[in-house]
Chains A and B, each alone.
Chain A
Amino acid sequence: MASRVAIVSMGWYGFKSSVDELSFREMMFEAATRAYETVGLDPRRDVDAFVSCQEDYWEGIAITDEFAPEPVGGVLRPTLTVAGDMLQGVAQAYMMIKTGYFDVVVVESHAKPSDITTMHGIFEMALDPLYLRPLNPPNMHFLAGLDAAAFLQRSRLGREHLAMVVAKNKRAGLSNSRASHAAPLSPDDVLSMEPVVDPLTRLDIAPFSDAAVVAVLASEEAARRFTDTPVWIEGISWITEAGTGALAWHTIGAMPGLRVAAKRALAMAGVSRIDTDTSFAEVDDRYSYVELLALEELGLGSPDEVARMLEDGDLDPGGYYPVNPSGGSLAAGVALEATAGFRLLEVYERLLAGGYEEGRERGVVASWRGPPTRTFSVAVLGV
């Protein structure tokens, strides 16, 4: 049987509104150096392949793949890029190790949104050029507004539930050094704001952050050479629904792609229910409503049940089933393709910290690549 796959080390840099002192390549170098030094790994000797998760438009460089190897120690070594979020890259690395041809694979992702002066233009370029882009929508969050409105309509939840998610996550982030956008807010602070794109206010929309994240993945045998505390990838899957022109494949106000990815990843890990078989989850919350929707698609309960858990504090850090104890993207920002890397890092570090009930020593990562994509990834990590 193929080897299990572990994360043996992770490194990061940034998670600030603007990392002024370093270029994106230097941020990659810093994150990689931290990941390698922790376990005494020499990337020129010990790594079989490198995976970089990035996208030309984010870098402002066409065919930016060529810039991937150097900062992570991958020059003249097998390197591939994934134009997707970091969890998609982790899935590729996982499969490479499962083949038996690779023992150690490094996955990196980075984001420098502070370098992007025309974020709206990039978003527009990602819309279907025939059916959606010609509308020239004035605000790039309009798709999220539509999705959030449809979710609230279907679930019969209200803006107050979204406000509770914002307050919970912004506050949870206060104890997280990566959560630069944390704040001691109350739901009323959110509800008192006028929406930007109905029903979402500025506080319901996670701001951007600059960040780089690097993970070192290894086969079971190789993992033991580097660490006594591997964190196992017990399940992982990713799904893309379709582009924004093919609306027949989308269910607005729901995330069937996330549901399918979750089903597959949870089944791989032997998880029947996330709240009984795992201890916490870091799920997408780049918009407040997404956290509730993601929990529904992860099978935690109906929107009604999830809302009740939220009201009762069950989803708080230290609650019955903590969701985004890190503060999520609402507190740490959206770091483009490294956003999933942030969630992975949080689950990785929290599992290493230990203290979980036996049989539930697992955490869930659920990621959306963000609008206008309909791409979702889910992973289950365990110790």
Chain B
Amino acid sequence: MAMWGKDPRVSVRYPGRMEVEKYVYTPGLHGLELAKALKEGRLIGTRCGDTIYFPPTTFCPDHAMGEPVEIKGPWIVEAYTVVREDSSSRRLDKPVVIAYITPLDAEGGLIHYVEASEEEIAPGIEVEPVFAPPEKRKGTIRDILYFKVKNSAQE
């Protein structure tokens, strides 16, 4: 170790940067259908025979193509976690609730933010999506700002 000193990486470092932020993703056939629906404040899934999947998928389990169908809910919190620190171990000013939310009219679901207090949030409660104002929607999943507890005063 004497050859290099205490920490060789302090004296010799080769910094690198992977230019990944420039990537663009093609949403695909089903992704485009969902993007259109999100802009209209709706959600769509894919019907494959008797089963509806959400998020939508172009291809069904039997490898046939499915057809888009609107998902109306109700949306139920299957599980939730409260995130109190970021990945760098910094305490968040306000803990955030992230939940796995499933629609009763489809298989699957969405992981998304829930605006709810720690007293309100619980597995099994019903929530509903809150969409961004129409002029601010971009056709992405963030057009859903968050889910709120159904009949909650939270807006």
Residues of A within 8 A of B (CB): 20-21, 57, 60, 62, 119-121, 123, 125, 129-132, 134-135, 137-143, 145-150, 153, 194-199, 202, 244-249, 252-253
Contact between B54 and A248, CB atoms less than 8 A apart: yes
CB-CB under 8 A from B112, the residues of chain A are: 135
Other CB < 8 Å A-B pairs besides A139-B87, A244-B111, 18 of them? Answer: A21-B8, A120-B86, A125-B20, A130-B141, A131-B55, A134-B141, A135-B142, A137-B98, A139-B83, A140-B87, A145-B83, A146-B79, A149-B81, A150-B79, A198-B82, A247-B54, A247-B108, A249-B108
Q: Which among A137, A139, A145, A202 has the greatest number of chain B C-beta atoms within 10 A?
A: A139
Contact between A149 and B80, CB atoms less than 8 A apart: yes
Which of A196, A245, A247, A248 is within 8 Å of B84, CB to CB? A196
CB-CB under 8 A from B86, the residues of chain A are: 120, 138-139
| Chain A: minimal CB distance from B45 (Å) | 9
User: Is B49 engaged at the interface, CB distance under 8 Å to the other chain?
Assistant: no
Contact between A120 and B87, CB atoms less than 8 A apart: yes
Q: Which residues of chain B from 56 to 110 have a CB within 8 Å of any chain A CB?
A: 57, 78-89, 92, 96, 98-100, 106-110
Bound state CA distance, A149 and B84, in angstroms?
15
Query: Which chain A residue lies CB-closest to B23?
Result: A129
Q: Convert B115-154 into 0s and 1s, putting 1 for each residue whose CB lies closer than 8 angstroms to a CB of A.
A: 0000000010000000000000000111000000000000
Which of B7, B55, B84, B98 is within 8 Å of A195, CB to CB? B84
- For the complex of A and B, 10 pairs with smallest distance between CB atoms: A248-B108, A145-B81, A150-B79, A120-B87, A248-B107, A198-B82, A138-B86, A247-B108, A129-B25, A196-B85
CB-CB under 8 A from B98, the residues of chain A are: 135, 137, 142, 145-146
Give how many B residues have a beta carbon under 8 Å from the other chain's beta carbons: 45
Bound state CA distance, A246 and B109, in angstroms?
8
Contact between B78 and A252, CB atoms less than 8 A apart: yes
CB-CB under 8 A from B78, the residues of chain A are: 150, 252
| Chain A: minimal CB distance from B118 (Å) | 9
| 24 A-B contacts (beta carbon < 8 Å) | A20-B8, A21-B1, A60-B16, A120-B88, A125-B20, A132-B111, A134-B142, A135-B98, A135-B113, A137-B83, A138-B96, A142-B83, A142-B98, A146-B111, A148-B81, A197-B81, A197-B84, A245-B55, A246-B55, A246-B108, A247-B108, A247-B109, A247-B111, A252-B79
Q: Which residues of chain B from 7 to 61 have a CB within 8 Å of any chain A CB?
A: 7-9, 16, 18, 20, 25, 27, 31, 34, 53-55, 57
Q: Which among B1, B82, B87, B108 has the greatest number of chain A C-beta atoms within 10 A?
A: B87
Bound state CA distance, A195 and B92, in angstroms?
12
Contact between A138 and B141, CB atoms less than 8 A apart: no
Contact between A138 and B80, CB atoms less than 8 A apart: no
CB-CB under 8 A from A245, the residues of chain B are: 55
Bound state CA distance, A285 and B155, in angstroms?
40
Query: Which chain B residue lies CB-closest to A138?
Result: B86
Q: Which among B20, B106, B109 has the greatest number of chain A C-beta atoms within 10 A?
A: B20
Bound state CA distance, A375 and B62, in angstroms?
22
CB-CB under 8 A from B113, the residues of chain A are: 135
CB-CB under 8 A from A195, the residues of chain B are: 82, 84
CB-CB under 8 A from B7, the residues of chain A are: 20
Query: Which chain A residue lies CB-closest to B30?
Result: A130
CB-CB under 8 A from B87, the residues of chain A are: 119-120, 123, 138-141
Which of B31, B57, B100 is within 8 Å of A252, CB to CB? B100
CB-CB under 8 A from A145, the residues of chain B are: 81-83, 98
Q: Which among A131, A146, A153, A246 has the greatest number of chain B C-beta atoms within 10 A?
A: A131
CB-CB under 8 A from B142, the residues of chain A are: 134-135
Query: Which chain B residue lies CB-closest to A143?
Result: B111
CB-CB under 8 A from A123, the residues of chain B are: 87
CB-CB under 8 A from B80, the residues of chain A are: 146, 149
